[in-house]
């Protein structure tokens, strides 16, 4: 899953440590999410969205890894 966290964080003027402090996680967690080594839990994804005043969909992109199960796809 790709994300736009590094760009949004830079636009906000926050270091990884500052974002981590705001989220209550470690700087290493922020780094791992930014670099795509770790997909955040749903609660962390919501916290990230709130921190940036965005929707989760604005922060993360599906990288073509399959998407929603067939029964949940729009128009299915």
The pLDDT assigned to 64 comes to 60
* Residue 65 scores a pLDDT above 50: yes
Report the interhelical angle of 42-52 vs 27-34 (nearest 10°).
Answer: 90
Residue 53 forms part of a structural domain: yes
Residue 38 forms part of a structural domain: yes
Residue 66 forms part of a structural domain: no
Q: CA-to-CA distance for 6 and 60, rounded, in angstroms?
A: 12
Residue 44 forms part of a structural domain: yes
CATH of the domain at 33: 1.10.260.40
Residue 69 forms part of a structural domain: no
Q: Supply the range of the domain harboring residue 19.
A: 2-59
The pLDDT assigned to 73 comes to 46
In a 3-state reduction of DSSP, which class is residue 25? Answer: coil
Q: CA-to-CA distance for 67 and 59, rounded, in angstroms?
A: 16
The model's pTM = 0.79
What confidence tier does 1 reach under pLDDT thresholds 50, 70, 90? confident
Residue 75 forms part of a structural domain: no
> How many domains are contained in the chain?
1
Residue 70 forms part of a structural domain: no
pLDDT in tens, 8-60: 999 999 999 999 999 999 999 999 999 999 999 999 999 999 999 999 999 99
Q: How far is CA 75 from CA 39, 66, 72, in A?
A: 27, 16, 9
């Amino acid at each position: 899953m790709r994300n736009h966290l590094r760009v949004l964080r830079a636009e906000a003027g926050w270091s990884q440590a500052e974002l981590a402090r705001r989220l209550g996680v470690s700087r290493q967690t922020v780094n791992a999410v930014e670099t795509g080594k770790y997909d955040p839990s749903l609660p962390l994804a919501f916290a990230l969205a709130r921190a940036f005043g965005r929707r989760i969909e604005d922060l993360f992109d599906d990288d073509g890894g399959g998407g929603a199960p067939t029964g949940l796809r729009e128009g299915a």
